Chain A
């Protein structure tokens, strides 16, 4: 399965594409896509002007980012694994 992710235009935060064509920061609300429908859905997202910057497909397995980019996408989802952001607490 695939899902579509991007960064939000106004603040850059990570967002995911929902089944009704909206964007959400919640991975749980993202629309899982079969591999054969993913490219078409991405093309539609890319063609829209809206709040999303640079939409792209990521692998999605059992409710989490999967595939070879699982760590990168996991960090995008949950935030930095270490560093001052975590020490101070994310806003």
Chain B
């Protein structure tokens, strides 16, 4: 299956080690000697089922393993100067086509950010605040140059507050609409206060070249669902979105990322725990078409005891030049006893041409956990499934659609808003009928 191109070989950069010097890093972060090998080993194991030619290409002769590649050692800073210019060889950028970022990583992001409109409920408070607002930076800290560049350049932030104990049944819709392709920075904050409950949908549309930081403060016992829809015009759009969740004690956070439109889209959701007993569910649905690059890199940082995380990301890919990337980092720190985590990535290659890179990384620093696991599969439709459906008279095209729909719609059901689900089902159907499979 030469079209089921895949991950992965160790990156070739050794720069990270030097970079740590003088860089502001979160004090809670610790190096994990010994775990480095383990994380890398897991990733490499997944590559054994892959086209060997690809692996050779990805690992030139004489390439060295990076000295430290534990997720805990990653640079985290609000200062752009702490992130050197990108070369494309960095571990976290080795799949990203830098040229197609249209300057988001290198230029001054001074253009006007996509317009933000909030609707759906009077119970939320919407403000526009300056960089000096106390809530800016309260949930997130940049961990890559795209995010740091956005942080360096955003002028004002939109803050959406779900007041303490407010329970909002209706979906809060945040329209984020772009209208040009000059590089811009954007900053949003969702402050779900203690004991509140809400579902917030971020709907990205139009045309934009934008790097975002979006912070989600999920207060003690709050229950926040965030759905982030990337439905840009394919032509000309480059979108980087660093989404930072910070969870209080016993908080519930569900994050659903749906990536459909845009030339180059890179979403990097990260979740951190500040108290015990919190639960995270992260879902992703990505549909990659011809020449699209859609990348998801997520991070779950288990630093508190008795927290739960569940990650389920699915992609379907079709057409020449379609490139999907999924990297799932889960770190269980020594203090995170009783952690229960599982991450799953499943990818369906629909025809000849696409490439999918899938790398789950699980670092475990304590043996006292409830459970930890991961799985990644990339393949074509199961011929036995098709045979079964066809043996009941269902034509092949229809059989394929039935299986693909079933595969993808499971994620959409997690949105729990029938209107939005129905609209997205139609969008996916339209994508499917674009190709002869």
Q: Do A and B bind each other?
A: no
Chain B residues with a Cβ under 8 A of chain A: none
